[in-house]
Structure 1
């Protein structure tokens, strides 16, 4: 079942801010984030016929965006993803201890924290985006929160 072009535009207009924030979290650069969103939208439009269930458009395009961001990170060989994240994400995140604590987590745990708490995805949506079982998301979330709690209590 194909998503009509006008519906594609309407769906994208609703989530473009969220897509930009996700790209910014990964790339830490305004221009690179805008380019990543543009590339993701291009790829999504180009491969629109591959979208099997239109109700999962947001999850599908978010996964495309994350892949584009990871490809850009590999290309530029940047390792630190969370140094100067915009204030838009969350006021609590701007407090230095939390920011440093999240940056010290392994990448797979950072992804979970980012999607679950800074972009308000559910466990099921996070599992679909990262292409891992929902139980794994829950386990990684508990592990990440436990590590963050230990790190923040130590400080």
Structure 2
């Protein structure tokens, strides 16, 4: 496999992971570039599980940047939306609005998670990695992956229930329009 073939094969996965971890298109693009620079500087042709290795490098780069910019990450007010380039069907406007609202809520929930939990959720649901691949990527046991994923989903579920109760309470308080 040539460098170009490697880049073409994994560029979208690396960018998508960077984007969901950083929630900023420009930072994700820059970090994606840095990841491939790191990969090409190493003897990647001898790596047995190349996808897991690349995703581990990607997560390490993301987590390092997040640690560096912890205060900046907390101050972000707007979340940029990531759309797949190959959208074949035209959707009704109300469906697009609902998708954007759901995506924004998901992004806000993810941003409230600790970095370790956010990394596992991102790799599982955005990167579509298996538990074993996540464990290999983050260099942690599969049991730790499962417990972090469980804890993250529990936190997200609690926040969703809290938001739902808040909305219902708010509707009762102010009445219908």
The verdict on a shared fold, with TM-score over 0.5 as the criterion, is: yes
| Distance in 2 (alpha carbons) for counterparts of 1:14 and 1:138 | 28
1:69 aligned residue? 62
Cα RMSD for the two superposed structures = 2.6
Q: Give the TM-score taking structure 1 as reference length.
A: 0.78
Structure 1 distance, partners of 2:14, 2:148, is 23
Distance 1:85 1:125, change over 3 A: farther
Structure-2 change in CA distance of 1:140 and 1:94 (3 Å): same
Which residue in the other structure is 1:25 paired with? 20
Q: Distance in 2 between matches of 1:29 and 1:151?
A: 23
Ranges in structure 1 where 5+ consecutive residues have no aligned partner:
none
Q: Which has the larger radius of gyration?
A: 2
> How many angstroms apart in 2 are the aligned matches of 1:102 and 1:144?
9
Question: CA 1:154–1:71 in structure 2 vs 1: closer, same or farther (change >3 Å)?
Answer: closer
Identify the residue that residue 162 of structure 2 maps to in structure 1: 154
The TM-score, its normalising length taken from structure 2, stands at 0.70
Q: Is the 8 A contact 2:39 2:54 kept in 1?
A: yes
Match of 1:44 in 2: 39
* Number of residue pairs the alignment of both structures matches: 146
Structure 2 vs 1, CA of residues 111 and 82 (structure 1 numbering), >3 Å: closer, same or farther?
A: farther
Any idea what the Cα deviations from partners look like across 1:16-49, whole Å, max 9, x if unmatched?
Answer: 1111111122333323222211111111111125
Structure 2 equivalent of residue 59 of structure 1: 52
Residues 76 and 100 of structure 1: CA distance in aligned 2, closer, same or farther (over 3 Å):
closer
Unaligned runs of 5+ in 2: 85-98, 164-177
Structure 2 Cα separation of the partners of residues 108 and 131 of structure 1: 12
Which secondary structure state, in structure 2, belongs to the residue aligned with residue 121 of structure 1? coil
Q: Report the more deviating stretch, 121-130 or 64-73.
A: 64-73
In structure 2, the residue matched to 1:137 is: 145
Matches within 5 A, 1:118-129: 118-129=126-137
